[in-house]
Structure 1
């Protein structure tokens, strides 16, 4: 569960009595490993007991609200600061030092006390960058990162999000199109909506498949407009072609082989 090397860092940290996990991606799954699938944090192997589901909970960065949150997936639910949450509840906002209980496992969610992305960090014995004093509100406030540091972290997370969406689109195009084939943006959008229908609430998907972040004449009637803007940023992966049919402008995309 520990990161290798002298520097151990992440966007956030899970800290239990006998384990620590550094969250180095914007979304992780907690649960138990099985023959057919693996999770990021195997709570079953850490003594979580018999009530751990294979996919019990997801901790992720909510890009729209700019905060971390926990989504309950397992039927037995989990406790956040002593409050039970079950599947179907909206994602729960996570603050640094929140106490989580899943099955028989209790641990804390911790955010860095200062930016972990803005520059180099010294070895571990130079001090713990994570907020671990869970007793005093004064220390909690004193360790809050500055606005500049938060922006640096947010930019890093946004880039990870964007890279993940681009990879998903490339995989889908390679499955549906041959070399040199063109796919209408409307069809690509429909395929992605269907593919991600079960996680539609996830901002990673919504951001690029709805026009809510884009206004103006050019985006009207085009729910794929955000996706189109994203693909144009990566000419090394995608070719976007525009064709006019009367007053209607049609967009097509092809994957560079």
Structure 2
């Protein structure tokens, strides 16, 4: 169970009278631990009573609709804002400060003021239900594919960074103009650093994941490697000044 001393932020937060849980992935299971399996949030150990199923509910980010939702898995259902939802119901949309009740346990679903995905990801990134782990087992029960959820998240986070870079370049540079990677990095940190600091997007703002000599002293190196993957949108130019290599970027076209 994650507490405030373990992490400082998450994609969403569950807040009860005597517990808090920060979501660090975009799909978690609530229920009760057993000899056969464990869950992300063990409600039975938190006083949820005897009516908690092993897999009682799943809270996940619906990438197609760009919102969080709750999928009921347990036969006794879940209350969202006082309305009972059962396993045969479609996933219910979750809004920040919604009151949830599973068994005897009440808690709130909370979102941060700003989302790392806010404003940059549109319908063009919609995916199929199979990509999000909605496949069914042979007996018709949901099959939770966290690897698919997390892979989709990584792709969306990458698109989020690329879109932000394109926005900064279009705002500060004219067509065909060049911006030093060092300045671009500073602009991104100033505008988005507080949002990205606690997410996996942070790796694009540092060189921590790179051990090559080229990355030394260049906190924008991760960003440089990312932009090189999109030659249809960005052109990278390098210039040598003594033993120092400087990188510059120019925007070719906006993301459609």
Q: TM-score w.r.t. structure 1 length?
A: 0.51
2:99 to 96, 99, 105: 105
Q: Cα gap change, 1:224/1:92 in structure 2, threshold over 3 Å: closer, same or farther?
A: same
Alignment check: 8 A CA contact 2:227 2:234 kept: yes
Gapped regions of structure 1 (runs ≥ 5): 1-57, 61-69, 72-77, 110-114, 131-144
1:43-93 CA distance string (max 9 Å, x none) = xxxxxxxxxxxxxxx862xxxxxxxxx34xxxxxx624x5344xxxx9456
Task: Indicate if the aligned counterparts of 2:206 and 2:219 stay in contact, CA closer than 8 A.
Answer: yes
For 1:153 and 1:103, how far apart are their aligned partners in 2? Answer: 24
| Residue 83, structure 1, aligned to residue 55, structure 2 | no
Aligned mates of 2:241, 2:148 — CA distance in 1: 44
Contact map agreement 2:133 2:148 (CA 8 A) in 1: no
Equivalents in 2 of 1:226, 1:104: separation in Å?
A: 37
**2:195 corresponds to which of 178, 192, 199:** 199
Q: 1:107 to 1:186 in 2, by over 3 A?
A: farther
Q: List per-residue Cα deviations over 1:86-119 (Å, max 9, x = no partner).
A: xxxx94568411469975711569xxxxx94288
Contact map agreement 2:237 2:249 (CA 8 A) in 1: yes
Cα drift, residue 129 of structure 1: 1.3
How many residue pairs match? The answer is: 157
Cα drift, residue 205 of structure 1: 3.5
Q: Note if 1:117 corresponds to 2:111.
A: no
Contact 2:132 2:152 in 1 (8 A): no
Q: How does 1:154-165 map to 2 (within 5 A)?
A: 154-165=150-161
Contact 1:165 1:204 in 2 (8 A): no
Output the TM-score relative to the length of structure 2.
0.51
Alpha-carbon distance in 1 for matches of 2:147, 2:97: 35
Q: Kindly indicate whether residue 32 of structure 2 is the aligned counterpart of residue 96 of structure 1.
A: no
Q: Give distance in 2, aligned partners of 1:216 and 1:210.
A: 13
Distance of 1:243 and 1:107 partners within structure 2: 60
Distance of 1:203 and 1:213 partners within structure 2: 15
Deviation at 1:127, TM superposition (A): 3.3
2:240 corresponding residue in structure 1: 244
1:1-257 to 2 correspondences below 5 Å:
60=11, 70-71=12-13, 79-80=15-16, 82-85=17-20, 91=22, 95-97=28-30, 98=41, 105-107=99-101, 116-117=130-131, 121=135, 127-129=140-142, 149-257=145-253
